[in-house]
A and B are shown apart, each in its own frame.
Chain A
Amino acid sequence: MRFVIRRLLLFVVALFGISVVVFAALRILPGDVASIMAGINAPASRVAQLREQLGLNRPLVAQYFDWMGALVTGDFGTSILTGRSVTALIGARASITFPLIIVGLLIAMLIGLPLGCAAVLARSPRVRMAFHVLAIIGGSVPALWGGLLLILLFGKGVGLVGILPSQGFPLDGWGEPVGAMLSLILPAFTVGIIVGASLMRYTRAALGDLANSGYIDMARSCGMTRTQAVLRVGLRLAMPQLVSVIGLTFASMVTGVMVIENLFALPGIGNGLVTDVGNRDLIAVQSELFLLAAFFLTIGLIVDVLHRLLDPRLKNASGVSEVSA
């Protein structure tokens, strides 16, 4: 319990720190949204006027507290350029990114977990080696390249077997559910294969350590076969570690899939963030970054707590006592 409280406290402090850092860092950027709006043939007076109109001339401290004040009440502000609420902007982008990473992660788990188990259970060293090589190669493919290969294989227009939409998202978005789903297949498989390979490696490592440990021997002496022992006891013991890995992977995928979003021309969270930074739409950017940071920290927090709850060996140990041990 002390651990959870400590962790929560740290969470709040970190969020506050991040808000300050993000706010300050963004003000150092060259250029501002007023000059973007005014364009390249506008006189300086026009830029100055827009700046005044948009409130960019107000003292920074006041701007910060306005933003923070609204944040506390759950209002993430309105994008200066698009005039839409940041919540709506992020919502629209998340409706592409999250399905993508969830499907991608499912594919990864479908690939990684069974293959990881199989790699441990395999008796023949050759088969083990084959799994090992498979995992290493899968994890060594640059996402960009993997995606390109899939496009060249299956993409409509360029692919050898052009059956799937290669780039872009349907106009109506999820209003066209089949089209939307279809356009996520190639990117999700790209993510899935790459993440799956690393998941496979983790599973193999975690189970492999356990397979040589006393727990499994004990289970076997209770009459289980090696396979049963590894799958029933080993997997359960490895679960906390795997949950951590999957959780952290999930979090990092939100921005980690940016390259893939870019390649497949999907207007997701990462792409949106880059656009907003490019336009110097600072209110949108600072809220987006803040939310992202909060998301990562939250997942980190949940993963840590879950890890402790799931792992029978850690039930009574708090983080502190572990350190001083």
Chain B
Amino acid sequence: MSQDNGAHAESGATGATTDASLASRAKNPKKNGPKWWLISLIAVIVAVAVVIGVTLAYAKKDNGTASGNGAAQANTVTIGLKLAPTNLDIRNTAGSALDQILIGNVYEGIVARDSKNQVTPAIASSWEESKDGLTYTFHLNKNMVFSNGDTLDAEDVAWSINELIAKQYHDADALEAVSKVEAKDADTVVITLKTPNSNLLWTLTGRAGLVFDKDAKYDLKTQAVGSGPYTVAKFVENDSITLKANEKYWGKNKAKTPTIVVKYLADDNAAVNALKSGDVQVLAPITENLAEPFTSDPSKYVVKAGDGTDKYVLGFNNASGSKLADKRIRQAIRYAINHDELIASRGGADKALGGPIPSLDPGYEDLTDLYPYDQDKAKSLMAAVGYSEDKPLELTLTYANIYGTELGDQLRSQLKPIGIDLKVNVVEFSTWLQDVYTNHDFDISLVDHNESHDFYTWTDPTYYFGYDNKDVQKLYAEGIAATTDKERDAKFAEAAKLISEDAPADWLFNYRITTATAKGVEGFPFDLNQTVLPLYNVTYSLAEFSQK
């Protein structure tokens, strides 16, 4: 095909020269002009055609080799995710993108969590907790190695946790209750606490419990040496990670697919196109509103929403002196927000959330009845403070541009009839961190608090909400000190209800991730997959592939 075009181009070109020379010989300028422009026009068209032709010919070849490799392609599964890590330094850099890709895949913790947010064995095969809740004894697996061949034993575990505390790495504050971590022998680690902490085990499933090789030297920002089923073969910041099965892997979560490529697709449309054109086999998350082409084609795709702990928190500034210090205004806002409508506009997958604890966290209770959508009630509350639609209260909503402009626009129009003139200020995330998070300079803020077990933020009056309730703090402390899960859950639930009644924030919804996969992809977790994403089980079956 390209040759055809080439031939055309050549004949076109020779034609042009002969025409031109003929034209120049004929000394009739009137006939000259139009031919020249015609010739240049043709030249342009031919040039364009050649370029397209050549590339198309190559494109065909390219597709050919791709499907030729198809038989071996099941060796690689490409997964499209959204939020990209800027480096691999899981000890220092915050962000769930790192937890998502590294924990359980490249690094392993002393314990792990499953997709229901429950603690499961990992490096430790079993553990005991003393009656007083102050001593945890972990029994480790045997014959464990890191991907570089170094053995992994209790020394590495104790060193990793002690180092975290000593150097105050990310999440070190979650281990404040720990007094010491010791390797009793090669297979046993003992953690001793100052005070009981019912959250300890869960905390150790995250960054606080990760085990690093104490003898390995590598650049934490661009490399990773762990004991998980995969190793990082290639990392391009803000773009992609290539994982290869760890040949030295010691455990039972052996990688089923030799190579997994994770491509970060920040642009929603680009992500959808990538799945459509087969560049990726999995897309998590996919914008619910854009999932239509996939949901309508169940023979080729599977689309499913999973549970998660993402809480879209419309946080009010509760500090005294704030415009929102008056509880009636905060309550009015909560009554005025039509959560169902917000959720519907996002595609309907998300779940209403009436309080600070999502369904996968301890202490969850459905609190959505506390503040049902009730505009009249909202209006009368605002009227009691002295505001109405004609004489509105001016408030500013500050939030980061990563959440899109839609929510702000919707809230502005929902709050307008009750007498609130909402100015929406969409800023860079770092500006939000500075103004809202650090300086508490805001009226209303909106953030997706995606971390699990972050209920403690409501017990810290210095946190940006500025929420200070002694009863809540007491209940939380009791819950933490509880030695049974049941007792802890009851205390947390009671505290959560108190908080929700106080209306220090509105919980817009519990964001549920919608995941779309090509048919034939198995083992990809749907729940919690933005923080916990074990990939060892993921396969893409060839039978489906060739049928397609």
Query: A residues bordering B, Cβ < 8 Å?
Result: 29-32, 35-47, 49-50, 81-84, 92, 107, 110-111, 114-115, 117-119, 121-124, 127, 131, 155-158, 163-168, 171, 178-179, 181-182, 185, 225-228, 262, 265, 267, 272, 275, 277-281
The verdict on A267 contacting B238 (CB below 8 Å), with A35-B438, A226-B32, A278-B429 known, is: yes
A40 with B37: CB separation less than 8 A? no
A82 vs B462: C-alpha distance when bound (angstroms): 31
A158 vs B281: C-alpha distance when bound (angstroms): 18
B269 at the A interface (CB under 8 A): yes
B56 with A118: CB separation less than 8 A? no
Q: A280 contacts which chain B residues (CB < 8 A)?
A: 430
A37 with B94: CB separation less than 8 A? yes
The verdict on A168 contacting B170 (CB below 8 Å), with A37-B94, A182-B58 known, is: no
Q: Whose C-beta in chain A lies nearest to the C-beta of B429?
A: A278
Rounded to whole Å, the gap between the CB of A113 and the closest CB of chain B is 9
Contact of A118 among B41, B242, B279 (CB under 8 A): B41
Q: B89 contacts which chain A residues (CB < 8 A)?
A: 83
B277 with A110: CB separation less than 8 A? no
Q: Whose C-beta in chain B lies nearest to the C-beta of A272?
A: B238
Q: Whose C-beta in chain A lies nearest to the C-beta of B65?
A: A178
A278 with B34: CB separation less than 8 A? no
Binary A-proximity of B235-250 (CB < 8 A = 1, otherwise 0): 0111110100000000
Q: Whose C-beta in chain B lies nearest to the C-beta of A116?
A: B40
A131 vs B428: C-alpha distance when bound (angstroms): 45
Main secondary structure of the interface of B (DSSP, over half): helix
B131 at the A interface (CB under 8 A): no
B93 with A37: CB separation less than 8 A? yes
Which of B24, B51, B61, B435 has the most C-beta atoms of chain A within 10 angstroms of its own C-beta? B51
A32 with B430: CB separation less than 8 A? yes
Binary A-proximity of B23-37 (CB < 8 A = 1, otherwise 0): 110010110111011
A84 with B93: CB separation less than 8 A? no
Known: A118-B36, A265-B266. 9 other contacts (CB 8 A): A39-B94, A45-B168, A81-B86, A82-B221, A84-B237, A119-B37, A167-B270, A167-B274, A168-B263
A163 vs B59: C-alpha distance when bound (angstroms): 8
A115 vs B269: C-alpha distance when bound (angstroms): 35
Q: B484 contacts which chain A residues (CB < 8 A)?
A: none
Rounded to whole Å, the gap between the CB of A315 and the closest CB of chain B is 31
B55 with A181: CB separation less than 8 A? yes
A198 vs B242: C-alpha distance when bound (angstroms): 43
Q: Whose C-beta in chain A lies nearest to the C-beta of B60?
A: A163
Binary A-proximity of B214-251 (CB < 8 A = 1, otherwise 0): 00000111100000000000001111101000000000
Rounded to whole Å, the gap between the CB of B68 and the closest CB of chain A is 14
Q: A30 contacts which chain B residues (CB < 8 A)?
A: 430-431, 434-435
Contact of A41 among B40, B236, B454 (CB under 8 A): B454
B345 at the A interface (CB under 8 A): no
A28 vs B37: C-alpha distance when bound (angstroms): 55
Q: A118 contacts which chain B residues (CB < 8 A)?
A: 36-37, 39-41
Count the B residues whose beta carbon is within 8 Å of the partner chain — how many? 76
A115 with B41: CB separation less than 8 A? yes
A178 with B58: CB separation less than 8 A? yes
The verdict on A225 contacting B34 (CB below 8 Å), with A40-B437, A118-B40 known, is: no
B392 at the A interface (CB under 8 A): no
B95 at the A interface (CB under 8 A): yes
Q: A110 contacts which chain B residues (CB < 8 A)?
A: 44, 47-48
A265 with B265: CB separation less than 8 A? yes
Listed by A's residue number, 16 A-B pairs whose Cβ atoms lie within 8 Å are A30-B435, A41-B451, A42-B173, A81-B87, A81-B237, A82-B237, A107-B48, A110-B47, A118-B36, A123-B29, A165-B279, A168-B270, A182-B55, A227-B32, A265-B267, A278-B429
A107 vs B44: C-alpha distance when bound (angstroms): 9
Q: A226 contacts which chain B residues (CB < 8 A)?
A: 29, 32
Which of B34, B36, B276, B429 has the most C-beta atoms of chain A within 10 angstroms of its own C-beta? B36
B173 with A43: CB separation less than 8 A? yes
A275 vs B85: C-alpha distance when bound (angstroms): 12
Query: Ordered nearest first, which 6 A-B pairs have the shortest CB separation?
Result: A39-B94, A83-B221, A123-B33, A31-B430, A118-B37, A114-B40
Q: B172 contacts which chain A residues (CB < 8 A)?
A: 46
Q: B93 contacts which chain A residues (CB < 8 A)?
A: 37, 81
A84 vs B221: C-alpha distance when bound (angstroms): 8
The verdict on A122 contacting B92 (CB below 8 Å), with A35-B437, A40-B433 known, is: no
B168 with A114: CB separation less than 8 A? no
